[in-house]
Amino acid sequence: MEQDESRYFVPAPSHWPLVGSIGLFLLMLGAALLLNDKATAGGYAVGLGFLIFVGMLFGWFGTVIAESRGGRYNDQVDASFRWGMGWFIFSEVMFFAAFFGALFYARHFAVPWLGGGGEKALTHELLWPSFAAAWPLLQLPNPEHFTVAKEAMAAAGLPAINTAILLSSGATVTWAHWSLKANRQRQLVAGLACTVALGALFIVLQAHEYWDAYTLKNLRLSSGIYGSTFYMLTGFHGAHVTIGAIMLAVILVRSILGHFTPQHHFAFEAVSWYWHFVDVVWLGLFVFVYLL
């Protein structure tokens, strides 16, 4: 209930969290049904869950935006949002850490051991004596149930261009931020528009690279540990870039509508933090998935 907001802000009861839970539940239920080959029921549940979830995002964020524009948020609320967003990004870092951990473990332990490295000579002898450890791993220990890839991904070409694109988008979003703080609205919009465009370009090029990998190089999720780590890491990253680009687009629209002032623009900063985070993850990917 709202009271004495000069000191504290406690929002009124809200139905959005429960709506969000129902949406998430239907999404998960539907996905589980789809994986069990129950296409009709699963499809409906996923579709409905998705709609409810997106509706919740519009409703909940709409409420927050209205409250923010109504001047209801004091410095303490602003700080709460900052702490919250910061720790959320940290949790995302740990999610990616699990997959990077899998990549490092496979490269430095699992594959060399299968090839007889370390203390594992007997593993090699007993399982697949003809297997030779290598990275990128194209010749699998037992290729029988796998789609054998013809070629590994190269760092030069599209990945290098994509690195340049994401780094530039980090610069343009910072340009937008400086403009916002200096109250130069046109440059703010221009900087954000550039960032969204660069993000979209990254996604298009990444899709092109996937097409190339999938068809020409015959590299699949089912091409052994190299394909698994490649697609899971770049796939989750691509999903995060997509979410980030959508959030940036929302911020762009809000900037055009004049929602932000030099003093009061946490939403902008939260999204730019998120954007820098996907940027840094990409640098990790570029080095450890493509380059080394």
Partner 1 sequence: MTELALHHAHEPPAGFTRWLFTTNHKDIGTLYLLFSLLMFIVGGSFAMVIRAELFQPGLQLVDALTFNQMTTMHALVMFFGAVMPAFVGLANWMIPLMIGAPDMALPRLNNWSFWILPFAFALLLSTLFMPGGGPAGGWTMYPPLMLQTGMAFPFVIFAIHLMGISSVMGAINIITTIFNMRAPGMHLRRLPLFVWTWLITAFLLVAAMPVLAGAVTMLLTDKYFGTSFFNAAGGGDPVMFQHVFWFFGHPEVYIMILPAFGIVSHIVPTFARKPLFGYESMIVAVMSIAFLSFIVWAHHMFTVGMPLAGELFFMYSTILIAVPTGVKVFNWVATMWRGALSFETPMLWALTFIVLFSIGGFSGLMLGLTPVDFQYQDTYFVVAHFHYVLVTGAVFAIVGGVYFWLPKWTGHNYDERLGKLHFWLSLISVNVLFFPQHFLGLAGMPRRIPDYAVQFADWNMISSLGGFVFGAAQLLFLYNVVRTIRGGAAATPQVWEGAQGLEWTLSSPPPYHSFTEPPIIP
Buried b (16+ CB within 10 A) or exposed e, 111-123: bbbbbbeeebeee
Buried b (16+ CB within 10 A) or exposed e, 220-252: beebbbbbbbbbebbebbbebbbebbebbbbbb
Among 40, 71, 130, 144, binds partner 1 (CB under 8 A): 144
Of 113 and 175, which CB lies nearer to partner 1 in the complex structure? Answer: 113
Q: How far is the CB of 72 from partner 1 (least distance, A)?
A: 11
Angle between helices 266-285 and 75-105 (to 10 degrees): 10
For the segment 78-107, give every residue that binds partner 1 (CB under 8 A). 79-80, 83-84, 87-88, 90-92, 94-99, 101-102, 105-106
246, 236 contact by CB (below 8 A): no
196, 251 contact by CB (below 8 A): no
Of 207 and 221, which CB lies nearer to partner 1 in the complex structure? Answer: 221
Q: How far is the CB of 116 from partner 1 (least distance, A)?
A: 13
Q: Which two tokens stand for residue 218?
A: 């015959």
Q: Is 39 in the site for partner 1 (CB under 8 A)?
A: no
CA dist., res. 45 & res. 23, Å (int): 9
Q: Is 76 in the site for partner 1 (CB under 8 A)?
A: yes
Window of 2-10, 185-193, 196-204, 272-280 that interacts with partner 1 by CB under 8 A: 2-10
3-state secondary structure of 274: helix
CA dist., res. 133 & res. 114, Å (int): 7
Q: Is 121 in the site for partner 1 (CB under 8 A)?
A: no
Of 42 and 170, which CB lies nearer to partner 1 in the complex structure? Answer: 42
Among 45, 137, 165, 166, binds partner 1 (CB under 8 A): 137
For the segment 8-37, give every residue that binds partner 1 (CB under 8 A). 8, 10-18, 20-22, 24-25, 28-29, 31-32, 35-36
Give the Cβ contact number of residue 103 at 10 Å.
21
Q: How far is the CB of 175 from partner 1 (least distance, A)?
A: 30
Query: Which of 242, 275, 256, 265 lies closest to 173, judged by CA?
Result: 275
Among 45, 46, 52, 140, binds partner 1 (CB under 8 A): 140
For the segment 166-185, give every residue that binds partner 1 (CB under 8 A). none
Q: How far is the CB of 194 from partner 1 (least distance, A)?
A: 31
Which positions from 233 to 272 touch partner 1 by CB under 8 A, shown as an x/- string? Answer: ----------------------------------------
For the segment 205-234, give every residue that binds partner 1 (CB under 8 A). 220-229, 231-232
The gap between the terminal CA atoms of the chain, to the nearest Å, is 55
Of 6 and 263, which CB lies nearer to partner 1 in the complex structure? Answer: 6
Among 44, 58, 142, 204, binds partner 1 (CB under 8 A): 142
Query: How far is the CA of 107 from the CAs of 25, 47, 101, 102, 141, in angstroms?
Result: 37, 39, 10, 9, 14
